[in-house]
Chains A and B, each alone.
Chain A
Amino acid sequence: MSTDTLDTLGPEGLPHMDNPSLPYLRGERIPHIWCPGCGIGTTVNCFTRALGEAVSDLDKVAIVSGIGCTGRVAGYMNLDSFHTTHGRAIPFAAGLKLARPEMKVVVYSGDGDLFAIGGNHFVHAARRNMDLMVVCVNNFTYGMTGGQLAPTTPEGASQTTMPFGNFEKPMSLPFLADAAGASFVARWTVFHVRQLTRTLREALGKQGFRFIEILAPCPTLFLRRNRLGDGVDMVRVYKERSKIRDGADTKDVDLGMDGDIIVGKFVDRERPTWLQSMNAHYQQVFGERYRPWGGVREQD
């Protein structure tokens, strides 16, 4: 339900209109808690537009998040939403998908949640080609807990737990997803709102393990600590540093504090999903005796 009827400024003499993201959100929970200039809300706009274009029945979409600022997305979306424990969004989503194969299941979470505490789940879900769409908002830090080092923090960047600059090599998320076997891998920044919307729409229409990384500013912690300005300054930098390279080799898409930011659709390949492989395998082993699992039947 939207709550904005009274306070919208629009041109005189025209009917009131609601923000197009609002029908997809739990209106009573808006305004959200994200800081001024936090990029997470921008990714949500792109996701809502993609949902509107790709999905006719929103009852058939579930969204699962872990813990973190990005983890709050599931709670704001007016879908079947699950806010799981830290790092466990993917195993929860995989269980949901296998129990209800007719659902589209989207995991939406932060880089710390998906790749630090949850990294193991990510690798194995990609290896198995679980039929999940995983959206990672990468802000290079643990936002919710105050700006600690993340596995994605670029070399040289300062964090509360790395105050003299990071000396660890960060993980390249598209490279990891590709190596583990994901069937679809893409990266955009919040500057690329149109391309991101298109990619999210495309991924919603596909099967298999789909991974979309979105670079987004965390002005309060990452930008302030590293003296990178406001959100709008960082998005301008994304615009300047980004190079669109569809089909780029994922071993060439590392990120640093400077240098090119390679964006685009890197991987798009056909592989049987885990459920398809299981059904095909047991049909071969047991023949007629095996009843393939495709979801609950009405008469069951």
Chain B
Amino acid sequence: MSQDKPVRQAKGTVFVRPEVCKGCAYCIEFCPTECLGFSEEFNAKGYHYPVLKHPEECTGCGLCGLYCPDFAIFGIRLKDIPQAASEPPVPPKAG
């Protein structure tokens, strides 16, 4: 989380399937809040996959999932996930 910005409350989050990602960067490039970045790790095919670098910026707009040609990521608003509306989630560690 960046130190200089006021801490925001995430409105959305992403689900990623690292093993089907082909590292094309569409999701990272066209996310309107620029909250995604590539993982440090490689998947089995040798691609870096996206991780939430700034989870608090994700709005759950779903654009990453519309762009991803490999069905490897999608974004969703927290209020659309049954259990998430009450407790804010702990995002996966940015690699």
Interface string of B18-41 (1 = CB under 8 A from A): 111011111001100000000000
Does A11 touch B at the CB level, under 8 Å? yes
Stretch at the interface among A17-25, A55-63, A81-89, A160-168: A17-25
Which residues from chain B contact A30 at a C-beta distance below 8 Å?
A: 20, 71
Instruction: Give the dominant DSSP class at A's interface.
Output: loop
Q: Which residue of A lies closest to B47 (CB)?
A: A36
Whether B70 and A32, one on each chain, are in contact in the complex, defined by CB atoms closer than 8 angstroms, is yes
A39 to B91, CA, bound (A): 29
The contact of A37 among B24, B30, B55, B71, by CB within 8 Å, is B24
Q: In the complex, how many residue pairs between chain A and chain B have their CB atoms under 8 Å apart?
A: 120
A10 CB-CB contact with B under 8 Å: yes
Q: Is the CB of A42 within 8 A of B71?
A: no
Q: Which residue of A lies closest to B80 (CB)?
A: A17
Question: Which chain A residues numbered 113 to 131 have a C-beta less than 8 Å away from chain B?
Answer: none
Instruction: Indicate if A235 sits at the interface (CB-CB under 8 A).
Output: yes
Q: Which residue of A lies closest to B73 (CB)?
A: A19
User: Min CB distance, A19 to chain B, in Å?
Assistant: 5
Instruction: Judge whether A197 is part of the interface by a CB distance below 8 angstroms.
Output: yes
Tell me if A20 and B70 are in contact (CB < 8 A). no
Tell me if B71 and A14 are in contact (CB < 8 A). Answer: no
Nearest-CB distance from B42 to chain A (Å)? 14
CA distance A230 to B71 in the complex (A): 19
* CB of B83 within 8 Å of the partner chain: yes
Considering the complex, give the chain B residue whose CB is closest to the CB of A16: B15
Whether A12 contacts B90 by the Cβ 8 Å rule is yes
A28 on the B face (CB < 8 A): no
Contacts A8-B15, A30-B71, A42-B67: A15 and B83 contacting too (C-beta < 8 A)? Answer: yes
Chain B positions 41 through 82: 1 when the CB is less than 8 Å from some CB of chain A, otherwise 0: 000000100010001000000010111111111101000011
Instruction: Write the A187-213 contact mask toward B (1 if CB under 8 angstroms, else 0).
Output: 000110110010000000000000000
> Top 8 closest A-B pairs, CB basis?
A41-B69, A11-B89, A36-B22, A37-B24, A193-B66, A12-B90, A10-B15, A9-B16
Chain B contacts to A: CB under 8 angstroms: 13-20, 22-26, 29-30, 47, 51, 55, 63, 65-74, 76, 81-84, 87, 89-92
| Chain A to chain B contacts (Cβ below 8 Å), 25 pairs | A4-B20, A7-B17, A9-B17, A9-B92, A10-B92, A11-B55, A11-B89, A11-B90, A12-B89, A14-B84, A19-B71, A19-B73, A21-B65, A30-B71, A35-B22, A37-B22, A37-B25, A41-B68, A44-B69, A45-B66, A45-B69, A46-B66, A193-B66, A232-B29, A236-B29
